[in-house]
């Protein structure tokens, strides 16, 4: 693609003379600009990928992957048998969820009351991982499990009494009043997910049906998959078994959140790509000055028989070389920082006494990072394309130069 003469001339252009010190500075800034732009792109994309993955894993660990609601119909045993027969690897459990109010002294908090079956394997595994106070074995009738944030807000601890009010009404001499029952706190869990820990209360399924004045036929079916990311695929399969039921997945519940993350990721990619574009302008200005300073040499090369095309290729190769090696260094720097981003966050937090990644805002205890090979390749290619365009534009002007005038006025 490039002859030996073209490569030698290009290499010579990369080592300007002492009197061309300004040109050397421009080349250095071009190199550093592209390198930092690529590195920042990789770091930000890695952090956002890690954030999405950690958030997804946490949501999958806290929520059923598919939920089947009766939707005014009763979920019969035939449907359950069909699901187990067609999808033997699915794990099914029954539950009931509704909105209520938690009351304690003068404090009140709107919450989600979720009735679960203590004997279900998925439920026991969940609480064994997240309970910090109390024991899941003590979770019996008239007991509840609450999140650590809710316990803090209502000033509650293990063993305290808690009054729960549901949206169901009961008739009294004073008229219809919301149904209210008292429960004992059997344990406190901490998932690290703020919204979950301050809004969910777990009850035994029988207590949940009682406080909402519901029957066994009103229970939901929760399904857990070995491959949760295929939840929408299985949702369509299940819907075909019975069109009367309302079926939704974990992704349906969090569609707005993940759509916002996707938009934010794309916008950040576009904005940070402008850093590379701005750095590429230094290549344009540097090559323009270089070509201007090399007018005499270019004229001599043309006189010796070197074609316009070859000369353009030499200057194009000069700019592309800067862009290529800057991109390589940027990729290496970006990957190294991405692999150690949590250590860097801790270091900066200690040095500047700042909370760089507040866990109560971002739902995560540490700064996540996940290097995606496809993202790195795309960033590498885009950087090379920008560098190639920036190198080609000044080199194209060489064909318009007049050899005769260049030699005559030298």
Question: CA 140 to CA 142: how far, in whole Å?
Answer: 6
Contact between 139 and 127 (Cβ < 8 Å): yes
Same domain, 21 and 137: no
Q: How far is CA 352 from CA 142, 300, 348, 355, in A?
A: 49, 58, 6, 9
| End-of-domain residue from the set 170, 203, 224 | 224
Contact between 193 and 58 (Cβ < 8 Å): yes
Tell me, yes or no, whether 76 lies in a domain.
no
Contact between 331 and 377 (Cβ < 8 Å): no
Rg of the chain (C-alpha set):
33
Residue 129: Cβ within 10 Å count: 10
Tell me, yes or no, whether 265 lies in a domain.
yes
Same domain, 264 and 387: yes
Tell me, yes or no, whether 86 lies in a domain.
no
Contact between 191 and 58 (Cβ < 8 Å): yes
Tell me, yes or no, whether 114 lies in a domain.
yes
pLDDT of residue 320: 86
Burial code (b: 16+ CB inside 10 Å, e: under 16) for 360-380 equals eeebbeebbbbbbeebbeebb
Distance, first Cα to last Cα, the chain: 32
Backbone φ and ψ for 180, nearest 5 degrees, come out as: -135, 135
Same domain, 278 and 388: yes
pLDDT of residue 254: 81
Strand partners, 221: 68, 94
Strand partners, 170: 177
Same domain, 283 and 219: no
Same domain, 192 and 265: no
Residue-range definition of the domain harbouring residue 334: 4-57+257-408
Tell me, yes or no, whether 182 lies in a domain.
yes
Contact between 185 and 154 (Cβ < 8 Å): no
* Strands 91-104 and 161-172, bridge-based pairing: antiparallel
pLDDT of residue 409: 47
Series of mean pLDDT values for 10-residue runs along the chain (410 residues):
70 65 74 90 90 80 85 81 87 87 85 86 77 85 90 88 84 72 90 82 90 84 87 89 88 82 85 85 81 71 72 82 91 93 83 70 72 91 91 76 53
Tell me, yes or no, whether 180 lies in a domain.
yes
* Strands 220-224 and 91-104, bridge-based pairing: antiparallel
Q: 338, 360, 358: which is closest to 50 by C-alpha?
A: 338
| Helices 231-241 and 77-86: angle between axes, nearest 10 degrees | 130
pLDDT of residue 359: 61
Same domain, 273 and 402: yes
SS3 201: strand
Q: 126, 137, 120: which is closest to 187 by C-alpha?
A: 137
Same domain, 278 and 396: yes
Tell me, yes or no, whether 67 lies in a domain.
no
Same domain, 40 and 175: no
Same domain, 186 and 273: no
Residues 6+ apart with CB under 8 A from 274: none
Same domain, 295 and 196: no
Q: 273, 279, 309, 294: which is closest to 382 by C-alpha?
A: 273
SS3 126: helix
Question: CA 235 to CA 245: how far, in whole Å?
Answer: 11
| End-of-domain residue from the set 224, 243, 273 | 224
Same domain, 355 and 270: yes
Same domain, 351 and 307: yes
Residue 316: Cβ within 10 Å count: 23
Tell me, yes or no, whether 235 lies in a domain.
no
Regarding pTM above 0.85, the answer is: no
In the chain, the number of structural domains is 2
């Amino acid at each position: 693609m490039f002859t030996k003469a073209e490569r030698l001339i290009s290499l010579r252009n990369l080592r300007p003379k002492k009197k061309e010190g300004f040109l050397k500075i421009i080349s250095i800034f071009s190199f550093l600009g592209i390198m930092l732009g690529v590195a920042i792109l990789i770091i930000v994309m890695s952090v956002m990928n890690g954030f999405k993955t950690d958030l997804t894993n946490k949501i999958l660990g806290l929520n059923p992957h598919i939920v089947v609601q009766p939707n005014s119909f009763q979920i019969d045993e035939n449907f359950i048998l069909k699901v187990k027969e067609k999808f033997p690897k699915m794990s099914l459990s029954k539950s009931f969820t509704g909105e209520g109010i938690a009351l304690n002294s003068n404090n009140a908090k709107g919450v989600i009351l979720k009735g679960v079956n203590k004997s279900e394997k998925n439920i026991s595994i969940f609480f064994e991982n997240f309970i910090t106070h109390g024991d899941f074995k003590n979770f019996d009738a008239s007991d509840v499990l609450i999140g650590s944030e809710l316990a803090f807000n209502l000033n509650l601890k293990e063993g305290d009494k808690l009054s729960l009010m549901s949206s169901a009404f009961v008739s009294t001499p004073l008229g219809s009043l919301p149904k209210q029952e008292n429960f004992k706190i059997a344990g406190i869990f901490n998932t690290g997910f703020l919204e979950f820990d301050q809004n969910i209360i777990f009850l035994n399924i029988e207590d949940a049906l009682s406080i909402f004045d519901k029957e066994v036929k009103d229970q939901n079916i929760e399904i857990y998959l070995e491959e949760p990311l295929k939840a929408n695929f299985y949702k369509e399969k299940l819907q075909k078994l019975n069109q009367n039921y309302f079926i939704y997945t974990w992704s349906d519940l969090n569609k707005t959140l993940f759509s916002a993350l996707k938009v934010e990721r794309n916008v950040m990619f576009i904005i940070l790509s402008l850093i590379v574009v701005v750095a590429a302008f230094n290549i344009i200005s540097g090559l323009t000055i270089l070509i201007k300073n090399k007018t005499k040499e270019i004229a001599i090369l043309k006189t010796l028989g070197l074609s316009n095309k070859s000369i353009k290729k030499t200057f194009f190769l000069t700019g592309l070389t800067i862009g290529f090696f800057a991109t390589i260094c940027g990729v290496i720097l970006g990957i190294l920082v991405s692999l150690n981003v949590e250590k860097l966050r801790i270091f900066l937090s200690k040095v500047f006494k700042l909370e760089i990644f507040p866990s109560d805002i971002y739902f995560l205890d540490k700064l996540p990072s996940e290097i995606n090979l496809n993202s790195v390749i795309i960033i590498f290619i885009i950087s090379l394309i920008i560098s190639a365009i920036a190198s080609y534009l000044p080199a194209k002007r060489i064909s318009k130069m007049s050899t005769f005038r260049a030699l005559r006025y030298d």
